[in-house]
Amino acid sequence: MIAGDPFMDEGAREELRRRLEKALTELGAQIERLRLKYRNMEAMSREYMEKVVESLIVKDEAKATIYAEEIAEIRRLAEIVYKTQLVLEQVKLRLETIIEISELIGLVVPLVSLITEIEDEVAGIAPEAMDNLRELASCIEEFTSTAAAKEMEPIRKEELSDEALKVLDEARKIAAEKVEETFPDVPELTEKERLIYTYISRNGEEIDVYKCADELGIGVEEVKAVLEELERKGLIELVGEGEAG
């Protein structure tokens, strides 16, 4: 809880705590919305990836290119969404710390710099979250303009910016890795990969490798090699010996 600050009366402490807790609740809701948005983008990317593969199978390169370009745009936006989520989680964690301990100033002030740094990107992805952050920044600025703040050793602007940039750089790195893992590259298929993927699509979720090889006139080992390559490209999942789905 917020307590022990000799420069703030009880009423001021309670008002600050109330506003911080309100900001914490609102940030939690915004973070959940961003998580949902990211999951929806994942689903849309998978759907478009299927369209790319279907278009490649029928050799419709133009349509495959259209869907591939959409996937690239979704990936770009997804990285921004995930980075924004990470930064908001950092702000939320800082607020939770502030509410629980008494040494407020050294923790609360750098949030203003962080909020300023992320303002443009957050406003484009989650405008409601940015409104909440601006309200939080206003609360902090009011607080730091009081006698309490003046009694504390000031923190240099460069230090605030450095902390904010470290958070943002780490968030960008993690977001890029997450998107790379979640959104695979658009595959290029060989003729045999097209043939076997089409066979899988027409024969249900699981196939027998030996039957597939016999019906397509391709060697069993070659079918297995193609299936492994299709799995590597994220198009199928091998579920057992002699089976694919």
Residuewise pLDDT in 10s, the chain (245 residues): 444 444 445 666 677 677 778 878 888 888 898 999 999 999 999 899 888 888 888 878 888 889 888 998 998 889 888 988 888 888 788 778 777 765 555 556 666 667 776 777 677 777 777 777 777 777 766 665 554 444 444 444 444 456 667 777 888 888 888 887 777 677 778 888 888 888 887 877 678 888 888 888 888 889 889 888 888 877 777 776 555 55
| Alpha helices for 102-219 (secondary structure H) | 105-108, 110-125, 127-144, 147-151, 157-182, 191-202, 209-216
Domain 10-182 annotated CATH 1.20.1260: yes
Q: Is the distance from CB of 51 to CB of 78 less than 8 angstroms?
A: no
Stated as kind and residue range, the H or E segment containing 239 is none
Fold entry, domain 191-244: Arc Repressor Mutant, subunit A (1.10.10)
**Alpha-carbon gap, residue 76 to 74, rounded angstroms:** 5
Q: Where in the chain is the domain with CATH 1.20.1260?
A: 10-182
* CA 98 to each of CA 7, 122, 152, 235: distance values in angstroms, whole numbers, following the listed order: 16, 23, 16, 47
**pLDDT of the residue at 198:** 83
Tokens 């999942």 label which residue? 237
Q: CATH 1.10.10 occupies which residues in the chain?
A: 191-244
Residues 64 and 58: their CA atoms lie apart, in Å, by 10
pLDDT on residue 13 = 64
**pLDDT of amino acid 110:** 63
Residues 6+ apart with CB under 8 A from 188: 56
